A and B are shown apart, each in its own frame.
Chain A
C-alpha cells in the first residue's frame, strides 16, 4: 500500500482563489511528521510547512496552512489567495519515527498546480 497518496495529478485554479491539495497517509507509527514541498520547474525542493503527529494545532506558514485530520489520516495543504508564482509541483511527504532526523522522507506522487490569470 502507498504510504502517501496524492489523488490530484493536476489542478487548474484561478488566480487569487484558495487552493486545497489533498494528501492522505498510511502509517502505524504513533510518531510521524508530515511535510509539504513545492518544486518549481528548476527542480529545487522548497520546504513549505510541517505538521507533527502530536501537534494539537494545525500548522500555518503565511499563505500556507495544513488541514490536519488525524483520525482520517489526512494532511491537506491549503494555499490562500493563490498567485501566478504558485504554479509548480507540490509534494506531500512523511517521516515516520520520533523526528530525530534519522529517517528519510516518503513522498507522494505530487500534484501539478497551475494558476491561471
Chain B
C-alpha cells in the first residue's frame, strides 16, 4: 500500500513554543491530507483537512490560529502547533488517500507524540 511518512515521531517542547509536524506522501501525490488528534485511550478525532494550494478546512472547535496547516506541495502537509501549552500534549497523526479504482484508501503516518512541559 501507499506510504505516508510523518516526522518527528516524538517531540517534547516548552510551554509557549511552537512545534512543526511534517506529513509526506512518499509514493503518490495527495491533494488532500487529514490531521487527527488522539488523546490517551481515546479515539482519533479529525482536526482539519489540508488542501494543496488552498486554505485548510477545520473541524468545529479546532482553533485555526493555534493549529496552522500548510499544504504547499502535492506530497507535503505541515501542522504547526503554535504557543503550545500542556493541554496540547497529545498524539497527532496525519493521513492521505490514494485513489484506486472507485475507492480511495486512507493511509496514516506513524504519528507524532507531542509533550508540552
Q: How far is the CA of A105 from the CA of B33 in the complex (A)?
A: 11
Residues on A with C-beta less than 8 A from B108 are 37, 44-45, 47
CB distance B103 to A52 under 8 Å?
A: yes
Chain A residue at minimal CB-CB distance from B48: A104
Residues on A with C-beta less than 8 A from B44 are 45, 91, 93, 105, 107
Q: How far is the CA of A104 from the CA of B48 in the complex (A)?
A: 8
Size category, A interface: 20 to 34
CB distance A45 to B103 under 8 Å?
A: no
Chain B residue at minimal CB-CB distance from A95: B106
Residues on B with C-beta less than 8 A from A104 are 34, 36, 46, 49, 59, 95
CB distance A109 to B49 under 8 Å?
A: no
Main secondary structure, interface of A, reads loop
Interface check B110, CB cutoff 8 A: yes
Q: Which of A18-55 contact B (CB under 8 A)?
A: 33, 35, 37, 42-45, 47, 50, 52, 54
Q: How far is the CA of A33 from the CA of B65 in the complex (A)?
A: 31
Given the contacts A43-B110, A105-B95, A99 and B49 also touching, CB distance less than 8 Å: no
Chain A positions near chain B (C-beta within 8 angstroms): 33, 35, 37, 42-45, 47, 50, 52, 54, 91, 93, 95, 99-110
Chain B positions near chain A (C-beta within 8 angstroms): 1, 31-32, 34, 36, 38, 42-46, 49, 59, 91, 93, 95, 97-99, 102-111, 113
